[in-house]
Chain A
Amino acid sequence: ETGVTQTPRHLVMGMTNKKSLKCEQHLGHNAMYWYKQSAKKPLELMFVYNFKEQTENNSVPSRFSPECPNSSHLFLHLHTLQPEDSALYLCASSQVASSSGANVLTFGAGSRLTVL
Chain B
Amino acid sequence: GQNIDQPTEMTATEGAIVQINCTYQTSGFNGLFWYQQHAGEAPTFLSYNVLDGLEEKGRFSSFLSRSKGYSYLLLKELQMKDSASYLCAGRDSNYQLIWGAGTKLIIKP
Asked if A107 and B30 make an inter-chain contact with CB atoms under 8 angstroms apart, the answer reads no
Residue B63 CB within 8 A of the other chain = no
Size bin of chain A's contact surface: 20 to 34
Residue ID in chain B nearest A43 by CB atoms: B99
Interface residues on B, range: 20 to 34
A66 contacts chain B at the CB level, 8 A cutoff: no
- Decide: B8 and A40 in contact? CB cutoff 8 A: yes
Interface residues of A (CB under 8 A from B): 4, 40-43, 45, 90, 97-100, 102-110
Q: Beyond A97-B95, A105-B45, A109-B42, list 19 extra A-B contacts (CB 8 Å).
A: A4-B42, A40-B8, A40-B102, A42-B99, A42-B102, A43-B97, A45-B96, A45-B97, A90-B42, A98-B96, A102-B31, A102-B48, A104-B45, A105-B97, A106-B45, A107-B42, A107-B43, A107-B44, A109-B40
**Which residues of chain B have a CB within 8 Å of any CB of chain A?**
4, 8, 30-31, 33, 35, 40-45, 48, 87, 89, 94-102
